[in-house]
Structure 1
């Protein structure tokens, strides 16, 4: 009798084990594990995550309709939009997603939805930069910053997105002049990641740096890097006629998704207040669902008004932004 019961139990469990959703992610599995674990606990649907360092579009194109991928997770609007532009996604119509994702953080046609935001801010030396000395992104080209700015490569996705946003608010000629001005103010050739810029401020190589907000949380959680973080303040610049530039982490449904229903369930879960708070806390980012708030550490960095430009408008200007960065030889 015991054997029959065991066999029956296994047979009943088999369909549940078959319920799954497959994710290709530019975010490390450990960063999204709290989310996928919570989703599985709530729904019984297993989430399989394949982490990719690069080449997501190429991989999906090579796999074609045979791809096991249901969803793509990525950071940066240009990376997310590149999957859409390659014709690898399908639109999702969901009342839950429309209710929880603000219009400027989703594709108007439903091909992608934002999950969290991060601001592209200025890290400023506590010792060498006065309060109120940094106000706008445009101000970074002011000669008063000559030899005082550090940044990573101008062709990196985060900086290209900022330049793309500049193109939303200014003419191409004005943005070219701005890039030339920022380049003239660099203390060293663009190099390293955002954390490396904060280390350079700590070391006295420069006074201000361009970076993403969440790196402050990551540095404060690292014994060695905490000293770097303690040397700077976070400043939220704005565009002269708008708010602070933000970028997103986001999700899109793959065109050939074999587990579409489960994938949409995961998308809706990820934008729910419960998941938003888990995700934002794990990555020191800002949740986007109405009624949600960042964790205390992130909130302590200060309040800001985000630029309300739809991120698709920024993504559309990526090619022009990259061309301008290369024209002025920003990294040279």
Structure 2
């Protein structure tokens, strides 16, 4: 039995209620099966219980409505835009922790210590094994080259994952060059943007396109799905880089709420997330990359190839999000 299977076998969904004792109360955008093994490990190590409210939207609005009476101590979410939104809304607080400073790289945490990335996922290229030489895909800039005309699939350009990538293009090359890049990628599309990242891999498998943009962890999800395994096995995972930079990554992150009635316990939870052991549990269950020094990616994730993350601070990318959205709309990328 694998670690992932053993952990998931013990998973149970908790319901958030005001704590009668010093528990940790969590609002989470992450699905129950993706965090419960981590919560179980935290309780086993510390004796501190966790209560979780799983939300699919409205997390920040809920915290704003609850104000200082909120029972939530911790936010768990994905994508830099959601983390930045929480900070901008004033529903988080800075956390001063030597453990977090040591274990979370500076590029993957808020400069004001309002949030901390705990795992990363790369925005990579899925490429048809039988139609694309891996040596052809080395940079993001290259995706705008006319050699890919009619060969690229992607989900909506206004989805958060693609906006984060465009924000990285802006950071590296400026707004004008980013618009030109978007126009070039659009000209190379095989079909109108649609579906999710896995749908693009299915399209490659079906011969509708040759390469697509996607997050790394979807490969793990597809390989675990009997129907989708053939899609996954039809593609290579390629790690393009920015010219002068690395591969674009995004995060799953944690923040302490402004109200945090159980601050000491919440801090223990955050520091636990940054420990190598917890990092490996979380990363393996989610098919993501741990960020703590010494923590290793799972054998499956490591098998996809070497990742050299881009070194730009994600909060800088969050600052470009509005511009990225405007450029996508100006180009009518989804049209």
Answer whether TM exceeds 0.5 for this pair: yes
- Contact map agreement 1:17 1:46 (CA 8 A) in 2: no
CA distance in 1: counterparts of 2:203 and 2:27, whole angstroms: 34
Q: What corresponds to 1:83 in structure 2?
A: 86
Q: What corresponds to 2:46 in structure 1?
A: 43
Q: How many residues align?
A: 317
Q: What corresponds to 1:276 in structure 2?
A: 279
Question: How far off is 1:46 after superposition?
Answer: 1.0
Q: Residue 73 of structure 1: which of 58, 73, 76 is its match?
A: 76
Q: What corresponds to 2:318 in structure 1?
A: 315
- Contact map agreement 1:213 1:285 (CA 8 A) in 2: yes
2:156 alignment partner, SS class? coil
- Contact map agreement 1:19 1:44 (CA 8 A) in 2: no
> Is 1:229 aligned with 2:232?
yes
Q: Residue 138 of structure 1: which of 134, 137, 141 is its match?
A: 141
CA distance in 1: counterparts of 2:174 and 2:33, whole angstroms: 41
Q: Residue 19 of structure 1: which of 22, 26, 41 is its match?
A: 22
CA distance in 2: counterparts of 1:175 and 1:95, whole angstroms: 38
Q: Residue 215 of structure 2: which of 204, 212, 219 is its match?
A: 212
Q: What corresponds to 2:62 in structure 1?
A: 59
Question: How far off is 1:23 after superposition?
Answer: 0.8
- Contact map agreement 1:136 1:237 (CA 8 A) in 2: yes
Q: What corresponds to 1:158 in structure 2?
A: 161
Question: How far off is 1:17 after superposition?
Answer: 6.8
Question: How far off is 1:304 after superposition?
Answer: 2.5
Q: What corresponds to 1:123 in structure 2?
A: 126
Q: What corresponds to 2:174 in structure 1?
A: 171
1:205 alignment partner, SS class? coil
Work out which of the two has the higher radius of gyration on C-alpha atoms and give 1 or 2: 1
Query: Is 88-97 or 56-65 further displaced after alignment?
Result: 56-65
- Which deviations, in whole Å up to 9, do the C-alpha atoms of 1:167-219 show, x marking residues without a partner? 11012111001101111111111111111110110011110000000110111
CA distance in 2: counterparts of 1:51 and 1:188, whole angstroms: 35
Q: TM-score scaled by structure 2?
A: 0.93
- Which deviations, in whole Å up to 9, do the C-alpha atoms of 1:277-303 show, x marking residues without a partner? 000110111100001110111111111
- Contact map agreement 2:127 2:134 (CA 8 A) in 1: no
CA distance in 1: counterparts of 2:317 and 2:55, whole angstroms: 24
CA distance in 2: counterparts of 1:250 and 1:304, whole angstroms: 19
CA distance in 2: counterparts of 1:34 and 1:201, whole angstroms: 33
Residues 1:254 and 1:17: Cα distance change in structure 2 (over 3 Å): closer
- Contact map agreement 1:153 1:190 (CA 8 A) in 2: yes
1:189 alignment partner, SS class? coil
Q: TM-score scaled by structure 1?
A: 0.94
2:207 alignment partner, SS class? coil
Taking only aligned residues, the RMSD between alpha carbons, in angstroms, comes to: 1.1
Query: Is 208-217 or 17-26 further displaced after alignment?
Result: 17-26
Q: Residue 28 of structure 1: which of 15, 31, 35 is its match?
A: 31
CA distance in 2: counterparts of 1:187 and 1:61, whole angstroms: 43
Q: Residue 296 of structure 2: which of 293, 296, 312 is its match?
A: 293
- Where in structure 1 do 4 or more consecutive aligned residues deviate above 6 Å? none
Q: What corresponds to 1:244 in structure 2?
A: 247
Q: Residue 329 of structure 1: which of 326, 329, 332 is its match?
A: 332
**Gaps (5+ residues) in structure 1?**
1-15
